[in-house]
Amino acid sequence: MRTVAIRADASYDIGTGHVMRCLALAEGLRNSGSKPIFLSRNLPGNISNKVRESGFQLIELPPPPDSSARLSRRKNSTVADLLGVSWEQDVCDCQAALAGVDVDAYCVDHYALDRRWEEKMGRDRSFMIVLDDLADRPHQCHLLLDANLGRKKEDYVSLVDNGTSLLIGPGYALLRPEFAMWRKRSKERRIDGELNSVVVSMGGADKANVTGRIISAFADMNFGPEFKLTVILGQSSTCVKQVRKMLENLDFQSSLKVNVSDMAATMSENDLAIGGAGSTAWERCCLALPSLLVVMADNQRAGAEALADVGAGILLGYDADFEAEFAAAITKMQIRDNLRLMSTAAASITDGKGVERVCGIIASMNA
């Protein structure tokens, strides 16, 4: 396999997880001798600079006519609206962007695209890879990956053609190599099981500023001056100034990191993480890092519940009872045995070698 065209978007409404996991896969493909090219639409809150800074070519698709309007502010918006244009227009834009490029394979990671897009883009019989989490629409591809815990191959049987290779479960989670590198050290520091430090990372965009509500909840609790809170915000965050001011008013140690380049190291230095239930959940599991899971999107709920069921995290509802649930969860995590047990459960979910496995399978299928 030589040139791989990767179709994924990031925005305030979509978040950054799709592009970030595609970056992890792209790094593995590049190390295997392929040339990944990203196709991303110019949407508010994109992280195209992150892709380019990682050394990959990115072709920016034209912004939609109403790209200044956030979906979160519209009524009756649907998953299809995340694309910004019709799927037909997206095909036209992608084909125009790739004119003259000999594409050997496509990888698509977008909830608004399905079999129709894949048929049009793969009509030259190029190898087609789909990354999905929902199992809610048909696909035409050679390989489909869904890393959700609790997902079964049977969920996709009626949605793909016979012969499609299905890579299911967090063993195939697409994590950057730094997480596997930090796994051993991170596991070793969990032996004591004390809660002295917490890291909060609600994703690259955090459009609802969940981070701010979490900081407020911490402020209402009684921690000694030795306690440390680390907050991580992505480059797409719009609440940096507000969060920084909130942290300055806390009675214990705190720090704010924006657009971090050493995420695995930062996470591994903490005793507990608070975050979403998307791709970052697998990062925390790889590091054996206990978690409080805040579900901000319906598509994350099943995965969060599966993690909670196996003891790898505590699920928090983001509603009127959030503060009470949060305080109860923190109190529970101050018990040593609880932290140790959750760390062990999390570590059993994934070892961080999903990219290596997936790239090996892709190579064997194209041998």
Q: In b/e form, how buried is each residue of 45-82, taking b as 16+ CB within 10 angstroms?
A: bbbbebbeebebebbbbeebeebeeebeeeeeeebeeb
Tokens 């529970």 sit on residue: 332
pTM above 0.85, yes or no: yes
Work out the widest C-alpha separation in the chain, in whole angstroms. 63
Domain 177-347 has CATH 3.40.50.300: no
Establish whether 283 is an annotated binding residue.
yes
Cβ neighbours around 32 below 10 Å, total: 15
**pLDDT confidence of residue 261:** 87
Residue keyed to tokens 């519209």: 74
Is the domain defined by 3-175+352-365 classed in CATH 3.10.450.50? no
- Closest residue by Cα to residue 147 from 137, 159, 134: 134
Q: Do domains 3-175+352-365 and 177-347 have the same CATH topology?
A: yes
Q: How far is CA 212 from the centre of its chain?
A: 20
Contact predicate 184/195, CB 8 Å? no
Give the residue among 86, 267, 241, 326 at the shortest CA–CA distance from 78. 86
196 exposure class (CB count in 10 Å sphere: 0-12, 13-18, 19+): middle
3-state secondary structure the chain: CCEEEEEECCECCCECHHHHHHHHHHHHHHHCCCEEEEEEECCCCCCHHHHHHCCCEEEEECCCCCCCCCHHHCCCCCHHHHHCCCHHHHHHHHHHHCCCCCCCEEEEECCCCCHHHHHHHCCCCCEEEEECCCCCCCCCCCEEEECCCCCCHHHHCCCCCCCCEEEECHHHCCCCHHHHHHHHHHHHCCCCCCCCEEEEECCCCCCCCHHHHHHHHHHCCCCCCCCEEEEEECCCCCCHHHHHHHHHCCCCEEEEEECCCCHHHHHHCCCEEEECCCHHHHHHHHCCCCEEEECCCHHHHHHHHHHHHCCCCEEECCCCCHHHHHHHHHHHHCCHHHHHHHHHHHHCCCCCCHHHHHHHHHHHHCC
Whose structure tokens read 């965009």? 205
Number of residues assigned to the chain: 367
Alpha carbons 279 and 14: distance in angstroms, whole number: 13
Would you give per-residue pLDDT tens digits along the chain (367 residues)? 699 999 999 998 898 899 999 999 999 999 999 999 999 999 998 999 999 999 999 999 999 987 655 554 445 567 878 999 999 999 999 999 999 999 999 999 999 999 999 999 987 778 999 999 999 999 999 999 999 999 999 999 999 999 999 999 999 999 999 999 999 999 999 888 889 999 999 876 777 889 999 999 999 998 988 999 999 998 777 788 999 999 999 999 999 999 888 999 999 999 999 998 888 999 999 999 999 999 877 778 888 999 999 999 999 987 778 999 999 999 999 998 999 999 999 999 999 999 999 999 999 998 6
Residues noted as catalytic: 18
Tell me the CA distances in angstroms from 141 to 118, 124, 230, one per residue in order: 7, 13, 41
**Domain extents in the chain:** 3-175+352-365, 177-347
Provide the sign of the torsion angle of the four alpha carbons 316, 167, 134, 7, taken in this order. Answer: positive
Inter-CA distances, 355 with 3, 5, 23, 72, 116, Å: 18, 17, 10, 32, 27
